[in-house]
Chain A
């Protein structure tokens, strides 16, 4: 596999070549993504599928005379080959630009900013990880996925900007299944694999699994008090991140938080949401070449800032604030509340303890009304005591209810949830969230 140093050198070499090849008044931006990952899938506590993926690609944007286009190219890892591929890409863009009209929404960051962040902690020893998992999974039905390796991002522009971000990390995301089909979800992620810490996580999951042994409590549709653990709340927040805070979605009237940002609805004063880039694993620069800022998106239940990319800034007269692609948060943090971890069940009293939600979507997007399923360890609680697991149920409720009028409390402890997503490549997004106690959750099926 390529070493992180050689990837950085590879990128610097391409940037140097491109700076020479560009002919004034041409301008360029060059993004870089690479990973060398090990992927291992588990089923029934054993390895079902395993392999390694080594990939690197660039996104080259060429700007000339108000026109621009971009091309992504997978690199080969050999300097001569890669230079040739970038040369081909440049040629394609040079041939394309004269065919395009000038873009009224083109903005290029003229600042020659620099950013460098390398975290090169040693990667876990896979043989040790496999042994730890086998040992911890003894006697239980474990199914899961382990991903590990370095991820690199680079950015450079003809205006002198240069950013490099590289981090080694692992993410083990797993479930323990009871023979009755009920399951518990858990994860262990970070940079430094610690066998003891992993064993503790597994022990917690095993303890939850024991509750699933009880006969299932069958619920009828209706309204219930409910506690949404941080992982469950993450599913709700992920839906809102899908256009909710985007300047373009808001201006185009398809944001699910249209009414919030329009001042026609509000969330509970307990709810404050930040895009907290500075304390996340995400790069400090956006794919389009702007340093990313920490933002306050929702302040005590009221809409505050939006995520603004360069096109939205140009089209709607806003300030760019380094929004990532799609103007979706990638380091969302919700302010903590005051509910102590030890008091969650007591304050819930009688209702649902929901560890995870699943497959959310909108019933009515402008009204921010969501539907979705309970999944993994969902329990019926009576008088502050866990009584039984609950059958899979569908909810259908508005965010203005769940995180608004019906929100009773947020927990004092928050959980950092690292993305296990690997679509196209391993992701660095994260959410820092408390749990939420709601007075009323509507179950429909």
Chain B
């Protein structure tokens, strides 16, 4: 681990620059993706990626150069390109960063169970093949795939103020998806995939529920094929954690990103209905809503000690009892806005610069069991597992769709319905939060695919949530 560290340290020490501050962020990533589709092993793909980003601050202007050439000459050349870039933009720069504080922290961070070997390639294929083979034979089951992604990342951050931050992480992404087709309609049911990822080793596969899931996932795809469409109208909506993570992500996470609020993302990812003046008093949701930035749950995807700018990461409430307290803004955005934020300045790899990203963004558990929540609903619907997401550029008007729906009538779970969709407006939706599940309903999930930024970046984010109930929501089904 960190076997390149001594050389990197030496090469960093030998760099020469006119900049008043400079940093180097080295990332080495390796991984594999395995899948078995309809009982046939797909060919495996592996990857080995490494490079470094050099950032300079010259007369208060910052610029970067990312390079795949890690030799001393390559790093020195990148540093000089960054200097030239800073000079070129000096007359056009939006920000004067000469007074922005810099990190001098030194620390290491490791994923849980990193010292435990991951199952071998053969063992992984055995697991995937067994799960694929467990999908029952039924001519309506036309496609299924079981997959396992594995990513190992080592990152070393060094800067001219003395910071030395190293982190070694292992991310695991198991999943299964089954599609059923009756000659007219098709319905898919899945587990994991874009909705589950954790740090860890084999333990993460166990926690995902993949092992033994084949027959249940297939059966639910067939149930959906036979089910009626979701009825249209207002109902109480019980969202399970694998849909809550999407709801949190799109209608709390993105609108609270401080760089969006400051306008950086207006040309691409969008803006936000939240204003800098809203922090400290906006009633974002009902008093049951407690949202945290929490980098301390070891297995969650975005747990770390320091972000990619070297800011120490601590658990913080963004929303407490429904009141908006602080944004998702890293050191630079905090400097620009004069607001307290969190350590969420993150880059997807060595070739992209850090920007404000979600990391682990969670809803704290409440006090109701699943049975109590269902029992308290007279006319409602349970929805699980996201399959469709769409929201406006200010993160207000949304429409989300799920794989699985079940009606709730007079406090009891009833029949399955297909194509469950719902729509609403973020500002109103969270104020309709009427029940929050207890710790028994709480799940640590996450997605590898959060896109944002120019140039574009896709990054891993963690979300943990209990099941939650929202009252009087507009729900509807599909055409087929």
Which chain A residues have a beta carbon within 8 Å of chain B's beta carbons? Answer: 1, 37-44, 46-57, 61, 67-78, 81, 85, 88-89, 92, 96, 99-101, 103-106, 126-127, 130, 134, 143-145, 147, 173-175, 177, 181, 183, 185, 251-254, 258, 264, 358-367, 369, 371-373, 375, 392-394, 396, 398, 421-423, 426, 444-445
Are the C-beta atoms of B179 and A253 separated by less than 8 Å? Answer: yes
Given contacts A77-B69, A100-B43, A361-B389, contact A254 B186 (CB under 8 A): yes
Are the C-beta atoms of A77 and B454 separated by less than 8 Å? Answer: no
CA distance A445 to B355 in the complex (A): 31
Residues in A with CB closer than 8 Å to B477 are 364
Which chain B residues have a beta carbon within 8 Å of chain A's beta carbons? Answer: 40-51, 53, 55, 62-71, 74, 78, 81-82, 85-86, 88-89, 91-95, 121-122, 125, 142-143, 179, 181, 184-186, 188, 262-264, 266-268, 270-271, 351-353, 355, 387-394, 396-397, 399, 401, 419, 421, 423, 425, 451, 454-458, 477-480
CA distance A145 to B70 in the complex (A): 28
Option from B92, B392, B451 in Cβ contact (under 8 Å) with A423: B451
Are the C-beta atoms of A76 and B392 separated by less than 8 Å? Answer: no
Are the C-beta atoms of B41 and A51 separated by less than 8 Å? Answer: no
Question: From A130, which residue of chain B is reached at the shortest CB distance?
Answer: B92
Are the C-beta atoms of B45 and A69 separated by less than 8 Å? Answer: yes
Chain A nearest Cβ from B245, distance in angstroms: 16
Given contacts A41-B264, A48-B94, A394-B397, contact A363 B389 (CB under 8 A): no
Residues in A with CB closer than 8 Å to B181 are 253
Given contacts A39-B454, A74-B49, contact A177 B121 (CB under 8 A): no
CA distance A144 to B63 in the complex (A): 17
Residues in B with CB closer than 8 Å to A99 are 121-122, 125
Are the C-beta atoms of A423 and B458 separated by less than 8 Å? Answer: yes
Are the C-beta atoms of A253 and B480 separated by less than 8 Å? Answer: no
Are the C-beta atoms of B46 and A70 separated by less than 8 Å? Answer: yes
Question: From B451, which residue of chain A is reached at the shortest CB distance?
Answer: A423
CA distance A51 to B268 in the complex (A): 18
Are the C-beta atoms of A72 and B351 separated by less than 8 Å? Answer: no
Are the C-beta atoms of A144 and B66 separated by less than 8 Å? Answer: no
Are the C-beta atoms of B92 and A54 separated by less than 8 Å? Answer: no
Are the C-beta atoms of B267 and A46 separated by less than 8 Å? Answer: no
Given contacts A144-B267, A364-B478, contact A72 B49 (CB under 8 A): yes
CA distance A392 to B47 in the complex (A): 42
Residues in A with CB closer than 8 Å to B71 are 76, 78, 81
Option from A37, A50, A254 in Cβ contact (under 8 Å) with B89: A50
Are the C-beta atoms of A74 and B392 separated by less than 8 Å? Answer: no
The 15 listed contacts between A and B (C-beta, < 8 Å) are A40-B89, A49-B264, A50-B63, A50-B86, A54-B69, A69-B44, A69-B46, A70-B43, A74-B48, A75-B68, A77-B69, A77-B74, A253-B142, A367-B478, A421-B456
Ranked nearest first, the 7 interchain pairs of A and B with the lowest CB-CB distance are A364-B478, A51-B64, A252-B143, A422-B455, A145-B454, A46-B94, A367-B479
How many A-B contacts are there with CB distance less than 8 Å?
Answer: 256
Chain B nearest Cβ from A221, distance in angstroms: 10
CA distance A252 to B82 in the complex (A): 48
CA distance A397 to B433 in the complex (A): 29
Question: From B28, which residue of chain A is reached at the shortest CB distance?
Answer: A74
Are the C-beta atoms of A44 and B263 separated by less than 8 Å? Answer: yes
Option from A43, A51, A81, A181 in Cβ contact (under 8 Å) with B65: A51
Option from B42, B78, B142, B353 in Cβ contact (under 8 Å) with A252: B142
Given contacts A74-B51, A362-B401, A373-B393, contact A394 B185 (CB under 8 A): no
Residues in A with CB closer than 8 Å to B67 are 54
Sample of 16 further A-B pairs with CB below 8 A, known A51-B66, A100-B43: A42-B267, A47-B94, A50-B63, A51-B64, A52-B85, A78-B74, A147-B455, A253-B186, A363-B478, A369-B478, A369-B479, A371-B399, A375-B393, A392-B393, A423-B456, A445-B397
Residues in B with CB closer than 8 Å to A127 are 88
CA distance A51 to B351 in the complex (A): 10
Residues in B with CB closer than 8 Å to A40 are 89
Are the C-beta atoms of B68 and A56 separated by less than 8 Å? Answer: yes
From B86, B392, B396, name the one whose CB has the most chain A CB atoms within 10 angstroms: B392
Residues in B with CB closer than 8 Å to A359 are 390-393
Residues in A with CB closer than 8 Å to B91 are 130
Are the C-beta atoms of A51 and B63 separated by less than 8 Å? Answer: yes
Chain A nearest Cβ from B292, distance in angstroms: 27
CA distance A373 to B425 in the complex (A): 13
CA distance A48 to B330 in the complex (A): 15
CA distance A254 to B180 in the complex (A): 9
Question: From B44, which residue of chain A is reached at the shortest CB distance?
Answer: A69
Residues in A with CB closer than 8 Å to B399 are 361, 363, 371, 394, 396, 444-445
Residues in B with CB closer than 8 Å to A364 are 419, 477-480
Residues in B with CB closer than 8 Å to A68 are 43
Question: From B421, which residue of chain A is reached at the shortest CB distance?
Answer: A363
Option from B184, B423, B480 in Cβ contact (under 8 Å) with A444: B423
Residues in B with CB closer than 8 Å to A421 are 456
Residues in B with CB closer than 8 Å to A423 are 451, 456-458
Chain B nearest Cβ from A246, distance in angstroms: 12
Are the C-beta atoms of B89 and A72 separated by less than 8 Å? Answer: no
Question: From B29, which residue of chain A is reached at the shortest CB distance?
Answer: A74
Question: From A444, which residue of chain B is reached at the shortest CB distance?
Answer: B423
CA distance A291 to B67 in the complex (A): 31
From A1, A44, A364, A421, name the one whose CB has the most chain B CB atoms within 10 angstroms: A364
Question: From A92, which residue of chain B is reached at the shortest CB distance?
Answer: B46
Residues in A with CB closer than 8 Å to B55 are 51
Residues in B with CB closer than 8 Å to A369 are 478-479
Are the C-beta atoms of B47 and A72 separated by less than 8 Å? Answer: yes
Chain A nearest Cβ from B443, distance in angstroms: 23
Question: From A44, which residue of chain B is reached at the shortest CB distance?
Answer: B94
Option from B49, B355, B401 in Cβ contact (under 8 Å) with A363: B401
Given contacts A104-B40, A364-B478, contact A372 B45 (CB under 8 A): no
Given contacts A143-B266, A358-B393, contact A53 B455 (CB under 8 A): yes
Given contacts A174-B267, A423-B451, contact A126 B88 (CB under 8 A): yes
Chain B nearest Cβ from A189, distance in angstroms: 14
CA distance A175 to B181 in the complex (A): 44
CA distance A71 to B29 in the complex (A): 13
Are the C-beta atoms of B48 and A77 separated by less than 8 Å? Answer: no
CA distance A64 to B219 in the complex (A): 38
Question: From A57, which residue of chain B is reached at the shortest CB distance?
Answer: B49
Are the C-beta atoms of A55 and B74 separated by less than 8 Å? Answer: no
Given contacts A44-B263, A77-B69, A147-B455, contact A55 B351 (CB under 8 A): yes
Residues in A with CB closer than 8 Å to B388 are 361-363, 365, 371
Option from A61, A103, A130 in Cβ contact (under 8 Å) with B88: A130
Are the C-beta atoms of A422 and B456 separated by less than 8 Å? Answer: yes
CA distance A284 to B95 in the complex (A): 43
CA distance A14 to B60 in the complex (A): 42
CA distance A421 to B41 in the complex (A): 32
Are the C-beta atoms of B390 and A360 separated by less than 8 Å? Answer: yes
Chain A nearest Cβ from B123, distance in angstroms: 10
Are the C-beta atoms of A69 and B263 separated by less than 8 Å? Answer: no
Are the C-beta atoms of B81 and A52 separated by less than 8 Å? Answer: yes
Are the C-beta atoms of B92 and A372 separated by less than 8 Å? Answer: no
CA distance A71 to B48 in the complex (A): 8
From B81, B355, B421, B454, name the one whose CB has the most chain A CB atoms within 10 angstroms: B454
